[in-house]
A and B are shown apart, each in its own frame.
Chain A
């Protein structure tokens, strides 16, 4: 059967890896209960937290320990009965550390879901077995595919309330699978669960002998994420130039940054954009010493064989494999600001990798209805939580790839220069 459980310290010395996942759904779907269950089954909820939640549940008159109170924590939320965007939760098993970006499904869903999904390896969508797929489930699946989250899990929850009827599960699974196929959706896993009772969460349940797939936790622990990273296209956005001002280290010039994609090795021929100058990698350094290769998501310092002028915002790549050097960008933009809409002619700051420029909206081709996927070509603006296909022109070139090929060099944010708020998120479709 299963291996003996390793102590967490032993696992860490072997090297657990990290999986980030986003959950979407409303309280009604049992999302908070599911998260509470995951935290509880992995012994992550502490006694004092559980006691606080029990006390709060009792004072609200709840009939059961309301695990939603673990996540809906702020006084501002309780007073107004709202949930503030994204909350982050952590748990670990001997195999993996998990970061949950927990986004409420009902309020400002698009902005929050897009934010949570932007860094996620996996998205977890819940439906209530009694209700089946609802508009919100389709919306979440669409946003997951738009943000190119590589793995999708649909949990059909509250199976206990439909007597663990295999037909109910299969009908929902079939419907979702055919919907997901239209979306160019990623790897899909569908699991029947009862979050309240813990069925198929930490281990396979006896209530579903007809279900042959993994428990949720087993799937989260084993889903293969290493090959999701782009190890082909070398992209190293220069973040900061390290030049020690000291008498002991002289003539040192290192380009610090986090590898966005590809594998860098000493001796590799490289090109620096936008200048187009070429050199070779002399060394890849970390504070722990030089290393033989660097790959995502490592933060390293690259030294080049030649002295060329490089600054923050430049990109190190390979001469035969370069991103576009582009001032004309077509992108899907999700608008995130409630105070003013995106309009054609609007000017914003744009932050893309480590480069910041200014941009003007040249056109809005259509606004997308995230529920029906209908394209409204007569739309004149994008309001909060709306998504549309936008043409941008930037003041200086961006060193960009299509988002579907590279989630780091294909994403950007828009900033209102008067309020300094982050007002939009963009996914590059075409850069030239």
Chain B
């Protein structure tokens, strides 16, 4: 063996160090940051990184849940447990309340992904959040591949892909005028597999729906949707009980499950490493609408 130490840093440690650096940078330079928490695995990992960035102090900013009203009960239960354990300040912005108050209108198809955006922007304005952490990753989708770590948003929350600030070294420019804000994506350089490896390494608990379980599902366009209060059988459709897990967690009326036997984190990692379809392609009805679906939603102020 060589006498000189290698001073090696594994790729997961390097990603963690980068994400922690970004969270501390935001805390140091912004007045009112908040972390967008959906109960999905990426926001759960982001929450763990925030815990580690400021330890032994508590996470010094609130978490905000944009509640579509179309939830998996396991996810809400998980959210409330984590918030209590970490002593967090939780802000819930409810799409249902916004519909009831006439601030947004339900879409004809009943999906709520798109109408989350005005609810998010209204909550950001109400609480005057100047930076919002999001769990988006660049490997998810091609519009995200071109978005910055610090994504400048104008006073309408809009992303302009042609007007992005160059990001050099680890020098992030978070300056903005009142009313403008920055979306910050500390997981930009993580892949789906990195996230799962990190969940395993850190032994992070997840909502149970991420692991294989038996569920009554209906197959639509090659995707398996849970039959529940949001998704009902249409004429000619039949449901069946299959062994499934969720790769992403979004609006419960839009998010499909994949057939899986993976009931542990190690088995999920094996499946993710072997899969040949992106997680959004496999599970998100909302991204299949058009080739530019994500780009359009981001321009409107989506995460």
Contact = CB atoms under 8 A, between A and B. Distances in A.
B11 A88 contact: no
Given A299-B21, A413-B168, A413-B171, A74 B11 contact: no
Interface in A176-228: 226
Interface in A407-422: 407-408, 411-413, 415, 420-422
Contacts of B18: 297, 299
Interface stretch (A14-22, A133-141, A392-400): A14-22
Interface string B10-45: 111111111011001101100000000000000000
Contacts of A17: 8-11, 14
A151 to B, nearest CB: 17
A49 B278 contact: yes
A286 B52 contact: yes
Given A90-B191, A420-B173, A239 B25 contact: yes
Nearest to A259: B17
B56 A249 contact: yes
B273 A9 contact: yes
Contacts of A86: 146
Contacts of B145: 71, 73, 87-89
Interface of A: 7-9, 12, 15-18, 43, 46-49, 52, 56, 70-71, 73-76, 84-90, 92, 96-97, 99, 111-112, 114-115, 118-119, 226, 229, 231, 239-240, 242-246, 249, 252, 256-258, 263, 286-288, 295, 297-299, 301, 312, 336, 349, 351-352, 354, 407-408, 411-413, 415, 420-422, 425
23 contacts: A8-B269, A43-B276, A46-B275, A49-B281, A73-B145, A84-B146, A84-B161, A87-B145, A88-B146, A90-B139, A92-B11, A114-B166, A239-B25, A239-B28, A240-B25, A242-B55, A243-B57, A252-B56, A287-B53, A298-B17, A408-B170, A420-B177, A422-B173
B295 A74 contact: yes
A97 B193 CA distance: 11
Contact of B161 (A8, A76, A298, A301): A76
A333 to B, nearest CB: 12
Given A48-B277, A74-B295, A295 B7 contact: yes
Q: Chain A binding site: helix, strand, loop or mixed by DSSP?
A: mixed
**A-B pairs with the 9 shortest C-beta distances?**
A73-B142, A48-B281, A15-B10, A287-B52, A244-B57, A287-B55, A420-B175, A299-B20, A18-B11
A8 B282 CA distance: 21
Interface in B156-171: 161-162, 164-171
Contacts of A349: 175
A156 to B, nearest CB: 28
A73 B141 CA distance: 9
Interface in B179-234: 188-189, 191, 193-194, 197
Given A18-B11, A242-B57, A115 B161 contact: no
A425 B168 contact: yes
A242 B54 contact: yes
Contact of A240 (B14, B24, B138): B24
A115 B269 contact: no
A48 B12 CA distance: 27
B143 interface: yes
B8 A90 contact: no
Among A7, A287, A420, max chain B CB count under 10 A is at A287
Contacts of A75: 291-292, 295-296
A90 B165 CA distance: 22
B176 interface: yes
A16 B10 contact: yes
B171 A9 contact: no
B270 interface: yes
A119 B169 contact: yes
Contacts of A352: 171
B171 A412 contact: yes
Contact of A299 (B17, B173, B291): B17
Contacts of A92: 11, 191, 193
Interface magnitude class on chain B: 35 or more
Given A18-B15, A74-B146, A413-B173, 15 more contacts: A9-B266, A9-B273, A17-B11, A46-B275, A73-B295, A84-B162, A88-B189, A90-B138, A240-B24, A240-B25, A287-B53, A288-B52, A298-B9, A408-B170, A422-B166
Given A84-B161, A242-B57, A299 B24 contact: yes
A380 to B, nearest CB: 24
B81 interface: no
Nearest to B194: A97
B236 interface: no
A415 B173 contact: yes
Given A97-B194, A240-B27, A8 B273 contact: yes
A422 B292 contact: no
Nearest to B18: A297
Given A87-B145, A299-B17, A413-B168, A74 B278 contact: no
Among A336, A351, A352, max chain B CB count under 10 A is at A351
A74 B143 contact: yes
Nearest to B148: A86
Among B169, B276, B282, max chain A CB count under 10 A is at B169
A176 to B, nearest CB: 26
Contact of A422 (B54, B165, B269, B291): B165
A114 B177 contact: no
B51 interface: yes
A111 B167 CA distance: 10
Contacts of A15: 8, 10-13
A70 B277 CA distance: 15
A48 B28 contact: no
Given A92-B191, A299-B16, A299-B21, A115 B277 contact: no
Among A48, A84, A97, max chain B CB count under 10 A is at A97
A71 to B, nearest CB: 8
B6 interface: yes
A285 to B, nearest CB: 8
B269 A46 contact: no
A73 B296 CA distance: 12
Contacts of A226: 6-8
B58 interface: yes
A46 B275 CA distance: 8
A9 B198 CA distance: 11
A335 B60 CA distance: 37
Contact of A7 (B146, B161, B270, B292): B270
Nearest to A86: B146
Contacts of B9: 17-18, 295, 297-298
